[in-house]
């Protein structure tokens, strides 16, 4: 049965929404309802590669990464199940002088914050991944503590623990409208009835712009499609391997089971739709980029793949802020290509904003007002909803 009211209603049971629910419950706020129109973790969280890195360009995001990595390390102790964290490292390959200069500055900042990251030579990169073509490279950047974890294990871990503490997570329950009385939020209307609440958290991932539209507001969010492909078992690539990112082409790959996970690094607009059907011409593009950087991969057959939406903002930083114009709507959206890995820290700080009135970290990077004087382009507007928007 759908509850009549709740202190907090969270829209979206992805990594972000479930982490917020878990962190609220952990601190004793259990009168929380999470509404998910499909199944827990079935949104874009299910499409993530599970990558976890401390190599970000801003101090706030590096702090988010360090806190989140620490959480993933303690995951089993806190959640009772493993999240299969594998610290295989991230290896960025650079062949552009200006890019290298940018990385030098970022590496200095990351080292100052305690990240074990260093600039290494192309030859040293090839010692880590002997199949690399390095002739055109100037340098590489390597952080051995980066890696990946199981996205499903993490999101289900948050959800299970939140439920154990009393949070209600309702699947197949879509929010179709937000009810406002005067200047304040009063509740949400769902496909299964209405829930009264003074606080709505928008954690709807790439669809968060549609929640904004329910309140007559345009949110600066750009759902962008990205593909991932998996090869058949391929012992000629090093196993395990770091995640290798070719900065020139955007291509990335790492060992996955007995095969190789690869992405062309695409960031395509999906105009006026949320359609994420797979475009098999992308497999060809991926194979071409792979062959240039890891020539042996031309012998690897692509076995399967998928596409998903990354919820991008124009500056590729998330939005963690209250919506102006209406009291009681908190956004935790726009986590781009790093929402899975930043979900532990994001959940904790959003719980602080709700329970303490302010977060313990400086979150000015994520304020919505940073877009105030920028024009939100057509591309930045949420596409209109359509029937087949989930797949
Ligand atoms: C190919 C690909 C690779 C990626 N790789 C990585 C990676 O390596 N590392 C990383 O950290 N991130 C990665 N990401 C990004 C990551 O997937 C996202 O940043 C993250 O999953 C966002 O989580 P979320 O909870 O905000 O969104 P979601 O998981 O999409 O959750 C939002 C939920 O809201 C629900 N919803 C929407 N509208 C409504 C409504 N009206 N009513 C009820 N429910 C609603 C949706 O069904 C959905 O389940 C990748 C993304 C893609 C596409």
How would you write the pLDDT of the chain (391 residues) with one tens digit per residue?
899 999 999 999 999 999 999 999 999 999 999 999 999 999 999 999 999 999 999 999 999 999 999 999 999 999 999 999 999 999 999 999 999 999 999 999 999 999 999 999 999 999 999 999 999 999 999 999 999 999 999 999 999 999 999 999 999 999 999 999 999 999 999 999 999 999 999 999 999 999 999 999 999 998 999 999 999 999 999 999 999 999 999 999 999 999 999 999 988 877 556 888 899 999 999 999 999 999 999 999 999 999 999 999 999 999 999 999 999 999 999 999 999 999 999 999 999 999 999 999 999 999 999 998 665 443 444 444 433 222 2
Cis-peptide, bond into residue 240, ω within 30° of zero = yes
**Would you state the pLDDT for residue 380?**
45
Ligand 1 geometric centre to CA of 205 (Å)? 5
Say if domain 8-49+151-221+315-380 classifies as CATH 3.50.50.60.
yes
Shortest CA distance to 382 belongs to which of 268, 205, 218? 218
Domain boundaries, the chain: 8-49+151-221+315-380, 90-141+223-312
Atom of ligand 1 nearest to the CA of 342: 11
Best residue among 187, 310, 343, 350 to mutate for probing ligand 1's pocket (most ligand atoms within 8 Å of CB) is 310
Ligand 1 geometric centre to CA of 171 (Å)? 16
Q: Where are the alpha helices (DSSP H) in 183-256?
A: 208-214
The SS3 of residue 66 is: helix
**Would you state the pLDDT for residue 276?**
85
For ligand 1, atom 35: residue with the closest CA? 12
Shortest CA distance to 243 belongs to which of 143, 358, 387? 143
For ligand 1, atom 4: residue with the closest CA? 48
Contacts of 74 (CB under 8 A, 6+ apart): none
- CB-defined site of ligand 1, < 6 Å: 11-17, 35-38, 42-45, 47-51, 174-175, 203-207, 226, 228, 308-311, 335-341
Question: What's the first-to-final CA gap in the chain, in angstroms?
Answer: 28
Residue 239 phi, psi dihedral angles, 5° rounding:
-130, 125
Best residue among 10, 11, 14, 38 to mutate for probing ligand 1's pocket (most ligand atoms within 8 Å of CB) is 14
Residue labelled with tokens 């062959």: 291
Ligand 1 geometric centre to CA of 121 (Å)? 35
Please name the fold of domain 90-141+223-312: D-Amino Acid Oxidase; Chain A, domain 2 (3.30.9)
């Amino acid at each position: 049965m759908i509850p009549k009211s709740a202190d907090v209603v969270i829209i979206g049971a992805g990594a972000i929404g479930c982490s917020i629910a878990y962190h609220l419950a952990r601190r004793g706020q259990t009168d929380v309802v999470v509404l998910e129109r499909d199944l827990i973790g079935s949104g874009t969280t299910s499409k993530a590669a599970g990558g976890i890195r401390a190599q970000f360009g801003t101090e706030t995001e590096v702090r988010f990464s360090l806190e989140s990595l620490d959480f993933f390390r303690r995951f089993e102790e806190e959640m009772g199940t493993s999240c299969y964290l594998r610290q295989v490292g991230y290896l960025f390959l650079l062949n552009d002088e200006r890019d290298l200069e940018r990385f030098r500055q970022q590496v200095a900042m990351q080292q100052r914050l305690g990240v074990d990251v260093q600039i290494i030579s192309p030859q040293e990169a090839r010692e880590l991944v002997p199949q690399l073509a390095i002739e055109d490279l100037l340098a590489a950047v390597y952080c051995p503590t980066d890696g990946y974890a199981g996205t499903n294990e993490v999101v289900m871990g948050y959800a299970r623990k939140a439920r154990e503490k009393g949070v209600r997570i309702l699947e197949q329950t879509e929010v179709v409208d937000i009810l406002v009385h005067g200047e304040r939020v009063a509740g949400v209307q769902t496909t299964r009835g209405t829930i009264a609440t003074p606080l709505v958290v928008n954690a709807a991932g790439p669809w968060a712009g549609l929640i904004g539209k329910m309140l007559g507001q345009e949110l600066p969010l750009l759902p962008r499609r990205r593909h991932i492909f998996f090869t058949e078992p391929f012992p000629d690539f090093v196993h395990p391997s770091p995640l290798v990112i070719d900065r020139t082409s955007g291509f990335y790959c790492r060992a996955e089971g007995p095969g190789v996970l690869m992405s062309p690094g695409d960031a395509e607009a999906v105009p006026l739709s949320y359609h994420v059907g797979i475009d098999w011409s992308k497999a060809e593009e991926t194979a071409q980029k792979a062959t240039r950087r890891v020539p042996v991969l031309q012998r690897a057959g692509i076995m399967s793949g998928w596409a998903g939406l990354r919820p991008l903002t124009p500056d590729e930083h998330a939005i963690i802020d209250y919506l102006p114009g209406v009291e009681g709507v908190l956004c935790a959206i726009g986590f781009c290509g790093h929402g899975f890995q930043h979900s532990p820290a994001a959940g904790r700080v959003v719980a602080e904003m709700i329970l303490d009135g302010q977060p313990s970290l400086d979150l000015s990077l994520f304020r919505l007002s940073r877009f105030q004087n920028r024009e939100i382009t057509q591309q930045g507007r949420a596409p209109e909803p359509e029937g087949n928007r989930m797949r």
